Amino acid sequence: MKALFNRLGRLRMLALLLWALPVAALLPLGLFWLWRAEALSWWLLALVLCSGAGYGLQRWLLQRDRQLLVGAATGPDPGWPPKADGAWVAVERLAEEAKPEDWPLDDGGRLWTLGRNALDAVARYYHPKQERPLLELTVPHTLLIIERASRDLRAMITDHLPLSNRLTLGDLARAWGWKDAAERWLNVYRAGRLVINPADALLSEVWGHLRGRAYGAAWTELHRWLLREYVRKVGYYAIELYSGRLTLTGGEPAAVPTPASRRDLKRAADHAAPVGEPLRIVVLGRANAGKSSLINALFGQLTAATDVLPDTTTGLTPYRLEHEGLTAALIFDTPGCDTERLGNKALKKIVLDADLLLWVCAAHRPDRRAEREILDAVRGWRAERLERRPPPLLVAVSHIDQLRPPREWQPPYDLRDPQSGKATNIRAAVATVAADLAIPVVAVIPVCLAEGRIYNVDDVLWVAILEHQDEADKVRFLRCLEERKRAENWTLLRRQLANAGRWLLG
């Protein structure tokens, strides 16, 4: 301080004080005038109220910005398979533990360590028995995770940080270099202000302290958000990779039909050019439960063969299904699950390749133990495939027109408030089927499929299918992704071998 005073010179400092004295005297003279006018207390009250209102507004803006940051936070993808849920819990735990004081933004080495910790948390979840699970990553996939996370962080910073597109790294470095010099000059100013006008300096210090705390809290909150988003983004794409959703070649997995769907489309005599992979809807149930009749009712015309014989369906028969609001779909008629024509191995493959299951159960046949055993096996097969989402399951209860009294048939029937014996028995049959097959009641739909008596198909069953279409689309995506990865591996291998051959020959 003394060296600075000697450098400027006493006369220059005197000239500076003389120039600032009239301005600095305004506040004490004003306070004196307010005191003489007996208005000083009102002025102090207004000062306190305005300061409190300004501080409160600053706090409210901080809370609003915090909510905006929360709304911009990365969350799990609803299309992930069930196994990814635990991995995302590990990522969220690591993100919550990231503290600004432990991870400064100007330390690139520390930030790299934080990103590696996020990768390690996901890798350890998917490879718990590996001593160094990060080594299970290939080099191209590691670079792809960094590329995707950096791309998303760039977009989020550009959208949410003011002037982030104008400030260069050099600007930030120069500002940081001026920090010490700016603090020294600010201390000189504050000391001089305290000597010239103690009251004004004291009020300014209090207000500056409150404002500094508010801005400091805002910066800390932004720092914490950046760290958490960094962890979430790296963890997000690591889960995308380990769950099989991140491919090296990119593109939409369901954009073109899989080889199996191409064959099924030809078998369905579908001459229209498919725009993408169709939904695979499979109709299952016991022999003579009404599976083929259900397909006919969904089409509104005779499509699948039906007869009074024990079972007329000899194999997996595809049909191209179209309806307003439904994406391209194939529906498959199957032999009875209780017949020898559909073995356990074939049934398992059908279930694992399905995007939506329709189970047909006859209301007038109370012996459902075999159906329950088959459905339990279906649920077990689905639970084994944690890398895939289980297809939604709907149960159509057929032959409701044969419930007591058998001669009564006067639809529609209100099952929420049954007014007749028929409606009461239909409601009881739905509840019994749901309990016997361990299916939620909302997924059990009573239908009549008899010729001339079609009931509850267009207005209830079709609505339920369309409501489950989004979930079925997620199942289809992961199914196509699995096929896409197999094709990608062969494509990359052929390309690598061809390039290696040219290099060796050259």
pLDDT 10s digits, 260-299:
888 888 888 765 655 689 999 999 999 889 999 999 999 8
- Residue 300 to residues 87, 228, 418: CA-CA distances in angstroms? 46, 54, 28
- Please, what is the average pLDDT of the chain? 78
Backbone angles phi, psi at 317, to 5 degrees: -110, 115
pLDDT in tens, 23-59: 777 777 777 787 888 887 888 888 788 878 877 776 7
Question: What is d(CA 325, CA 472) in angstroms, rounded to the nearest whole number?
Answer: 14
Residue type, 346: A
Q: In which element (H, E) is residue 294 found?
A: helix 291-299
Residue-range domain boundaries for the chain? 75-169+182-242, 259-485
Express each pLDDT in 154-193 by its tens digit: 776 676 566 666 666 555 555 555 555 555 555 554 554 4
pLDDT score, position 420:
92
> Two tokens at 494?
């052929």
Q: Which of 289, 384, 278, 370 is nearest to 332 (CA)?
A: 278
Neighbours of 126 (CB within 10 A): 19
Asked if 356 and 335 count as a contact pair (C-beta separation under 8 A), the reply is no
Class of 259-485 in CATH: alpha beta
Whether a cis peptide bond, with omega within 30° of 0, leads into 392 is: no
The distance from CA 445 to its chain's CA centroid, rounded to whole angstroms, is 30
**Rounded Cα–Cα distance for residues 122 and 464 (Å):** 36
Where does the pLDDT of residue 194 fall: very low under 50, low under 70, confident under 90, or very high at 90 and above? very low
